Amino acid sequence: MNNEKKKFDLIVIGAGPAGYVAALRASQLGIKNICVVEKDRPGGVCLNWGCIPSKSLIHSAETFDSRKDLEKMGVKIDITGFNFGSVYKQSRKVTDILSRGVAFLLKKNNITLIQKEFKFVSDYELESEDGEKITAEKIIIASGAVPRSIPNVDIDEDLIISSKGALSLTTLPSKVLIVGSGAIGVEFAFIWNSFGVEVHIVEIMENILPMEDEESALLIRNLFEKKGIKIFTKASIDKIEKNGNKSSVSITANDGTKIMEEYEKILIATGRKASTEALGIENTSIQLEKGFIKVNERFMTNVAGIYAIGDVINTLQLAHVGSREGELAAEYISGKKDIHAIDYNFVPKCIYCQPEVASFGFTEKQLKANNVSYRKVNFPYRINGKSVSSESTNGFVKVLYEENKKNILGAHVAGHNATEIIHELLLIKEANIAPQKAGNIIHAHPTLSEMIMESMKMIEGCAVNV
């Protein structure tokens, strides 16, 4: 065994959206001899077992569900030959393509990729299980997050599964329970329901999508229930007993009623926690806070030269946030000036069920709780020409703004393609474009983006189509 240490100028732990972007940006800025270590495939959890394969499943679910539109036209469709295994294979094909793309970018930028699990043996030194040692004066930790379970419940990836287990299914269960109704829970509810699975959701909070605008959450709940999804809010799981290939679950409903149900699969979708346990943090001086790596506003830990970004720190656990943090960390390390920091209040959050939900900024509930005066406009999808013509009229565009009209406090879009059109509102906010000017920009007709124009005109009191 060769005990010689390999010395790099920068080591990045993790090749997910935060880590690989940090490495590429560092290379752009002139940092040489960069090493990325990744125990799995390039792209991290998001690309391999999260954001990307789930969107492939959602696309397949939408395609499968759209057969109902053809049936309205008199087309008879025989689905007896349907094989969910082909849906799974397509989702893995997508991840393979994009993972190879990340590996190509790293190679193109002369970045060393070592596909092994490394852990700290001291502040600036890491070692793999087979004894390979690497060191650097600058290290970025981007080890991501892992699924969080609930008390007294072990995720076995058989009967009780995480999102990774859900993405690994090659056959459809007949009946599932989803514990938690954030983005992951709601997206899988949509996927499985679209393929004909009986779906139940248990949420401990008052509403599903508890971090989103209440009006958005109510819209999704009503539409889900119309599709046959059974939803228990302000409810809790009392006990789970495994019985062969199924599990019996005791649920306490919001009125105190005890409910017993049997499920083929139980998806635990109650969030994720920072992945720090396998890093060897105990062998370093790095400080943790509430389970996350503690960093300052420049993403540096308490150890000089060691940075942390992405889901391993206590910011928004979103891939696009991690990527931006990766860019910023590289810029801080390189000494770049005029760095545009992140305002975490105004990051887009997107949920890809149908209809979609997208937002940034504050909700009405948050503004009221903080005694912030605001006004709002709400433009419904049902009077937008493109929405009506494409039979996608469920939804709205809501903008919350200061009474002086100069500042958008929050925007919430629920409806078809919400995750795309939210960005025009964010641009208006970030570029400080006055509602009058934004409303005067001519939008092509018919388009969904006309609703943004109409919302700005509503703020000015001059909308003619509402």
Residues forming a β-bridge with 34: 10
Catalytic residue among 340, 423, 443, 445: 445
Q: Report the half-sphere exposure of 164 (CA within 13 A, side-chain side).
A: 14
Residues forming a β-bridge with 293: 288
Where b means 16+ CB within 10 Å and e means fewer, 52-70 reads: bbbebbbbbbeebbeeeee
For residue 237, the surrounding DSSP H or E stretch is strand 236-243
Distance between CA atoms of residues 140 and 10, nearest Å: 8
Distance between CA atoms of residues 399 and 411, nearest Å: 5
Residues forming a β-bridge with 181: none
Using the structure block, give the residue that is written with the tokens 């940034």: 360
Q: In 244-374, which ranges are E strands?
A: 246-252, 258-263, 265-268, 272-274, 288-289, 292-293, 306-308, 349-351, 356-361
Residue 423 φ then ψ, to 5°: -75, -25
Residue 445 annotated in active site: yes
Task: Work out whether the CA dihedral 444, 446, 452, 457 comes out positive or negative.
Answer: positive
Q: How do 175-179 and 265-268 pair as beta strands?
A: parallel
Distance between CA atoms of residues 101 and 383, nearest Å: 42
For residue 202, the surrounding DSSP H or E stretch is strand 198-203
Q: What is the number of H-type helices and E-type strands within the chain? A: 14, 24
Encoded tokens for 263: 């499920």
Catalytic residues: 445
